[in-house]
Structure 1
Amino acid sequence: MALSETNLKGIPRRQGKVRDVYDLGDRLLLVATDRISAFDWVLPTPIPDKGRVLTSLSGFWFDRLGVPNHLISSDVADLPIELSDEVREELRGRSMLVRKARVAPFECVVRGYLSGSGWKEYKASGTVCGIRLPKGLVESDRIDPIFTPATKAETGHDENVPFEVMADALGTEIAATLRRLSLEVYEKAAIEARSKGLILADTKFEWGFDDRTGELLLIDEALTPDSSRYWAIDAYKPGGPQPSFDKQFVRDWLEATSWDKASPPPPLPADIVARTRSKYIEAYELLTGQVFPWR
């Protein structure tokens, strides 16, 4: 059963594309629903258990990365609010109790391969976010990891910006720290993913400063198929796009319809939903080495 929305009565809530965020006073409750977005639209058809994959994988990576993060607990038994048995079961596996943080207003993107918007820019100018790369690269080529920040957008597309824009907004020292940490975390995660047969082509991190202590924290989600591009090592072939462990089935299907991307999107067919769910779960199982609990 897919979960498109939650509504915990009496608790202030705001909604992102995927998460329902509840303000518990000194802490937040993040609930990853099964909503899925594409081309700047939240689609009308959710992907069952997608939110549980995102939450479980984030917890897996928070445990391994060795950097401070915002997660307090992902066990519904630890939630400091009264919940019915039905709601508790609804939230199980998809909720994170987290520390409040002052969010750095930039997506901290690290790219180790030339794909997506980076490939489009490179074709046009030989650069990615103003960083000049070697000539003669092809789509999906491996590159020395680069840090390419982007402005955060609640709705619509994030916009790639040069590092100098981020430094002007946050200060050179903070921006340099975020760049260094993002590159370090990417490298560590890429090594771990490679040991599981996966290439971490690129990813985006969010960072924030603890509301009470000022400590820099890794926040939101980490290294999930929604925030990262994973490819299978044994299928990797530079020179074109690679099969990925994310919502590519959804994007491809939408591109093949008559949808104009300016009006509400159509519902997804059952086979696209099933194949997308399967890809998310496959990513979880390959990375963690565990069977997905809600299979």
Structure 2
Amino acid sequence: MEGVMRTTLAEEGLRLLSTGKVREIYELDSSRLLFVATDRVSAFDVVLDSPIPQKGSILTQISDFWFKLLSKEIPSLKTHLIHAGLPDALEQTLKPEVAIQVQHRSMVVKKVNVLPIESIVRGYITGSAWTSYQNDGTFVGISLPSGLKESQKLEQPIWTPSTKAEQGQHDENISAQEVARIVGEDLARQIERLSLLIYEKASAYAAKRGVIIADTKFEFGVDESTDPPSLTLIDEVLTPDSSRFWSATKYEIGRSQVSVDKQYLRDWLVETSQKGKRGVAIPKQVAKDTSNRYNEAYQMLTGDPWDAK
């Protein structure tokens, strides 16, 4: 399939530390890692059998864009990003065809201690939150105002953390108290405050670009190399895989929204009764349409055309 990553850097002699659902992590040295985003796609915690063309490159470039923007908007923010792309020394040792494949889907990042939670912020009521609200007016123990309609903006964004499940397992929503038990009360408060602040800044920026960030997921680690150790934003950030992006011009309360994210693929799985199934092959047109939505998100957020890097 055109535009799909076809190699791994382990074949080129780089030490592979882990292979996640959609990412490969390599060791560069004692303090740096290389994140390589593949074109694999995960939905409902299952990796599908077919790749999405250009997905890894697009998501890496979106993350790079947000890391840089947020660092300007929040000067105190610590991120694990050192730079996007391959280290010069590594690029020079790779076969040219391999370097071309992985250059734009790679990030050099700091080694940090990864925290075992996912930090989710919701600004609109949709997805599982809407389903829960319809049942009893709450979501993960948080009471929400009566009379809300599907996709309505909440008076204030809410923090709804979850576990960070191993591959093949499912994330589970947990309370703020449970996060405090896992990582400590002080760190839990820092994660909540910082997540809400990042969401606020990102939402304000996205709104100017005609994008509504309905909800998003952040991941954090602790950088032990600083004194004191610092809470650090890691992984991908505010991508169509980790967020719900809606078109502001097509937004309408009381229904599901036109999305420019992975929701299109999720909807296809539900409609074809393949949600949560393994071994699912994505038809070429569905894969292309999903890729087009990632492309659209990149262009809407950055203001630049995607040039099939």
Alignment TM-score > 0.5, same fold = yes
Cα 1:258–1:193 shift into 2, 3 Å? closer
Residues 132, 139 of structure 2: 8 Å contact kept: yes
User: Is structure 2 residue 152 aligned with structure 1 residue 150?
Assistant: no
Question: 2:35 aligned to 4, 22, 30, which one?
Answer: 30
> Map of 1:87-166 to 2, 5 A cutoff?
87-143=98-154, 144-155=156-167, 156-166=169-179
Unpaired runs of 5+ in structure 2? 72-76
Three-state SS of the structure 1 residue aligned to 2:237 is coil
- Which moved further from structure 2: 62-71 or 248-257? 248-257
- Which moved further from structure 2: 211-220 or 200-209? 211-220
Cα 1:168–1:139 shift into 2, 3 Å? same
Match of 2:56 in 1: 51
What is the TM-score of this pair, normalised by structure 2? 0.90
Match of 2:271 in 1: 256
Three-state SS of the structure 1 residue aligned to 2:285 is helix
Distance 1:146 1:96 in 2: 30
Cα 1:6–1:120 shift into 2, 3 Å? same
Residues 79, 97 of structure 1: 8 Å contact kept: no
Shift of residue 99 of structure 1?
0.1
User: Is structure 2 residue 232 aligned with structure 1 residue 217?
Assistant: yes
Distance 1:286 1:149 in 2: 28
State the AA in 1 paired with 2:129: G
Cα 1:89–1:254 shift into 2, 3 Å? same
Match of 1:275 in 2: 289
1:157-190: per-residue Cα shift (whole Å, max 9, x none)?
2111111100112111110011000000000000
Shift of residue 101 of structure 1?
0.6
Alpha-carbon RMSD across the aligned residues, in angstroms, is: 1.7
Residues 112, 202 of structure 1: 8 Å contact kept: yes
Distance 1:262 1:51 in 2: 23
State the AA in 2 paired with 1:122: Y
Cα 1:138–1:4 shift into 2, 3 Å? farther
User: Is structure 2 residue 197 aligned with structure 1 residue 192?
Assistant: no
Distance 2:89 2:160 in 1: 36
Distance 2:275 2:213 in 1: 32
Residues 115, 140 of structure 1: 8 Å contact kept: yes
Unpaired runs of 5+ in structure 1? none
Match of 1:294 in 2: 308
Q: Sequence identity, in percent?
A: 46
State the AA in 2 paired with 1:89: I
Cα 1:176–1:137 shift into 2, 3 Å? same
Question: 2:18 aligned to 7, 11, 14, which one?
Answer: 14
What is the TM-score of this pair, normalised by structure 1? 0.94
Distance 1:41 1:251 in 2: 11
Cα 1:258–1:203 shift into 2, 3 Å? closer
Residues 87, 108 of structure 2: 8 Å contact kept: no
User: Is structure 2 residue 75 aligned with structure 1 residue 61?
Assistant: no
1:71-93: per-residue Cα shift (whole Å, max 9, x none)?
11113243657322122111111
User: Is structure 2 residue 150 aligned with structure 1 residue 172?
Assistant: no
State the AA in 2 paired with 1:57: I
Cα 1:126–1:137 shift into 2, 3 Å? same
Distance 1:277 1:38 in 2: 14
Distance 1:179 1:72 in 2: 24
Shift of residue 3 of structure 1?
1.6
1:45-76: per-residue Cα shift (whole Å, max 9, x none)?
11111111110011101111122101111132
Distance 1:130 1:78 in 2: 49
Three-state SS of the structure 1 residue aligned to 2:15 is coil
